[in-house]
Structure 1
Amino acid sequence: MRHEVAVRHLAGTAFAILLALPLGAGSARAMNEDNVPMVLEKAVDGFIRPGYHAFEEASGVMASAMGAFCATPDEATYGEATAAFDELVGAWSHIEIVRTGPVIDDHRFERILFYPDRKSIGLKQVQAAIIEEDESAADPDYLPEKSVAMQGLLALEFVLFGTQYETMFEAPETYRCRYGAAIAENIDTIAGELSEEWDAKDGVAAHWKNPGPDNPLFRTNDEALTALLGVLVHGMETVRDQRLEYFYRGEEGPNIPTRAIYWRSENTWPSIRDNLAGLQALLNNSDMVDLLDEDVRSIVSSINFLFSSVEGVVGGMNPDIEVVLSDPDQLAKLDYLLINTRDLILRLNDRYGGAIGLGAGFSFSDGD
């Protein structure tokens, strides 16, 4: 009963917010074409490239911290390694929303983050490598040839936080720790590749900034803006469908705490918060509001209001997912998040997209 009351309260609050926020434009195009080059340039130089630089920096710290922990396994070096992992998850979560470009080449995205692992195949492979002490998996030169599920953040999370992680304290350079160090080096290598490709003078960044008939990616401004808005819409869909609904399906269930991303390290909510912060930063750092005529710019104001509301609720979630799924107040907040992340998707896709002429007859969800 308490959960139902709390849900009604939060849902009522959400409904009041929706009534207060203008829905914005319909299908009429209200885009300032002259601002398109500026917005594309800011998206690349004000968000994408700095995001990959931050990820590369965090991955370098992680690799160094794992090396130090393996050499001298004690509480201090372990604490530094786990803190570096938290920072690495945060840096990746901020930029992982850009699921286009070099990150989708050579399975880089999946090599960094293999999730959801629907049949626990990746977990079983990681556990098998540790039990069997597969030296090829602990070799940074050979690990990239292994399954993508053995190479990335969730594999490293299991090494640092999973069952029997304390065995790494028994002696320097244990197999488990060396495997973790190889994973960290592998992530650092991929992060360096991503930064290098986005920094290349005549590479993907130039293609994003300069749509045209000879551009291999975008022939027109509309094509480039479709890709940019698609990052926002698909990113929000990922937050709702894979970060929330994958472990929480409402009162009917099934609700499975171990499906939540990064549950072992209690990074579920920090990573979701950074996903949301990344999406909002892309919207605002790119000055996407400047594509709209003055009379419809309230669309972006309403989107920012909802982002702030959702991020505030995420910040108040219990880090223990089992507690979340047994606490009526926490469940009510989850329901609130589902309602408002859905609304963010609609406002980005239908309202903002419609205002710049990409809403009518177009569905980012369908990938058309």
Structure 2
Amino acid sequence: MKRLFALSLLLLTPTISQAAPSTQELSLKVVQDFVIPSYDAFSHQAKIQADAWDKTCNGDTLKPLFHNTSDAWAAVQHINFGPITLLLRRDRLYHWPERRNAVGKSLSKALNDKDNSLLSAKKITGASVALQGLPALERILYTDAIKDDYGCQLGKAIAHNIEEIANGTLKDWKAALPNIKEGSAHPIFFESNDEVAIRLFTELLTGFQMISDQKIALPMGSNLKKANGKRAEGWRSLRSTRYIQQSAKSLRAMALPFVSFLPEKSAEKTEQQLSKFVQLASTLPSPLKDAVTDEEARKKILTFRDEISKTRNLIVEEFTQHLGLTVGFNSLDGD
């Protein structure tokens, strides 16, 4: 009888939910586990690339290093918060999606004018943002510009500019880390840990939207007749599918520090969905430039796009419910 009474009390007692982590805990975990290591990897690859440009203009040597640097960039491409926003770093580093052929026009003018002052670190920093980053370097590497002496020197200047931006961004994130640990405002990048946590969560969601709305939708078009493979990201270097796959891996890596604070069942469900999302990305057809004009390939891409929405929606549901986070304005909302 006593056991039955005790069991009744246990069943009637409300379940105590796991306390939501503080925004300081969330901010510190994501910055330490994902943000700083990812920018560190990007800075490292950018330096290797720049050092190689000092020694050679051989495309066969430089192209693999461009891919490594671009892979590392893809890990943080969706972040438009914090040090990457200082001094127009993000725009200068990656002018994409490209409008009105800005990169092509800027590069063509530079190659025609052969202005040697552009080859200095100070001058290239003040040039058009379309000329300063990875998209411009891709064009030099994957066109005849690499064979031209001035084109070679311009590529070298751009590679070093990319390295400088990557190093500066990493340095500033490391410098901001004590503020996050102390829970204090940063004079430039954020006013509180609440802002850091919400912005990082929002940028995570932006990453899913970026894959769907830009990396896929732009070349796919609304139907087969309107598809245009040359609107795909990195189509010249055949990186379009690779960019999507690297972004998918990165979004999973960024989500996991958040997931570590979820209740066990929620964490397991979210991790399974993230793994499914990454696995499906690995099966995407390549090159995307050609796949978007193929009916069967488009079906595979659209299936993956559905998985993007499913994964993003689950993250929103779990993180807002269990972590006390809210979705903020993201950099794509105004597009």
TM-score by length of 1: 0.78
The question of whether the paired residues in 2 share the 8 Å contact of 1:30 and 1:357 is answered with no
Q: How does 1:128-207 map to 2 (within 5 A)?
A: 128-162=109-143, 164-165=144-145, 167-168=147-148, 174-200=149-175, 204-207=176-179
Task: Identify which range, 224-233 or 140-149, moves more after superposition.
Answer: 224-233
Tell me which of the two structures has the higher relative contact order, counting C-alpha pairs closer than 8 angstroms and 6 or more residues apart.
1
User: What residue number does 1:47 align with?
Assistant: 34
Name the SS of the counterpart of 2:98 in structure 1: coil
Q: How does 1:69-148 map to 2 (within 5 A)?
A: 69-70=56-57, 77-148=58-129
Q: Distance in 2 between matches of 1:31 and 1:115?
A: 42
User: What residue number does 1:16 align with?
Assistant: none
Residue deviations 1:156-203, cap 9 Å, x none?
0000003x24634xxxxx001100000000001111111211222xxx
2:220 is matched with which residue: 248, 262, 275? 248
Cα deviation for residue 280 of structure 1 reads 0.9
Residue deviations 1:330-367, cap 9 Å, x none?
111111122111222222224422333335xx555569
Task: Determine if the alignment matches structure 1 residue 323 to structure 2 residue 290.
Answer: yes
- Structure with bigger gyration radius: 2
The question of whether the paired residues in 2 share the 8 Å contact of 1:35 and 1:290 is answered with no
The question of whether the paired residues in 2 share the 8 Å contact of 1:291 and 1:356 is answered with yes
Name the SS of the counterpart of 1:142 in structure 2: helix
AA aligned opposite 1:138: L
The question of whether the paired residues in 1 share the 8 Å contact of 2:211 and 2:244 is answered with yes
Name the SS of the counterpart of 1:246 in structure 2: helix
User: What residue number does 1:57 align with?
Assistant: 44
Q: Distance in 1 between matches of 2:306 and 2:317?
A: 16
The question of whether the paired residues in 1 share the 8 Å contact of 2:140 and 2:146 is answered with no
The question of whether the paired residues in 2 share the 8 Å contact of 1:32 and 1:291 is answered with no
Cα deviation for residue 232 of structure 1 reads 1.0
**Structure 1 residues 351 and 61: CA distance shift in structure 2, 3 A:** same
The question of whether the paired residues in 2 share the 8 Å contact of 1:199 and 1:205 is answered with yes
Q: Distance in 2 between matches of 1:343 and 1:238?
A: 15
The question of whether the paired residues in 1 share the 8 Å contact of 2:228 and 2:293 is answered with no
The question of whether the paired residues in 2 share the 8 Å contact of 1:31 and 1:291 is answered with no
**Structure 1 residues 31 and 97: CA distance shift in structure 2, 3 A:** farther
Which stretches in structure 1 are left out of the alignment for 5+ residues? 1-28, 71-76, 169-173
Q: Distance in 2 between matches of 1:215 and 1:157?
A: 35
User: What residue number does 2:3 align with?
Assistant: none
**RMSD between aligned alpha carbons?**
2.5
Q: Distance in 1 between matches of 2:252 and 2:182?
A: 24
Aligned pairs, how many? 315
The question of whether the paired residues in 2 share the 8 Å contact of 1:303 and 1:347 is answered with yes
TM-score by length of 2: 0.85
| Identity across the alignment (%) | 24
AA aligned opposite 1:167: K
User: What residue number does 1:289 align with?
Assistant: 259
Task: Identify which range, 342-351 or 236-245, moves more after superposition.
Answer: 342-351
Residue deviations 1:214-252, cap 9 Å, x none?
566244x54433122112111211121111112113426
Q: How does 1:192-341 map to 2 (within 5 A)?
A: 192-200=167-175, 204-211=176-183, 217-219=190-192, 222-251=194-223, 254-284=226-256, 286=257, 288-294=258-264, 297-298=265-266, 300-341=267-308
The question of whether the paired residues in 1 share the 8 Å contact of 2:43 and 2:166 is answered with yes
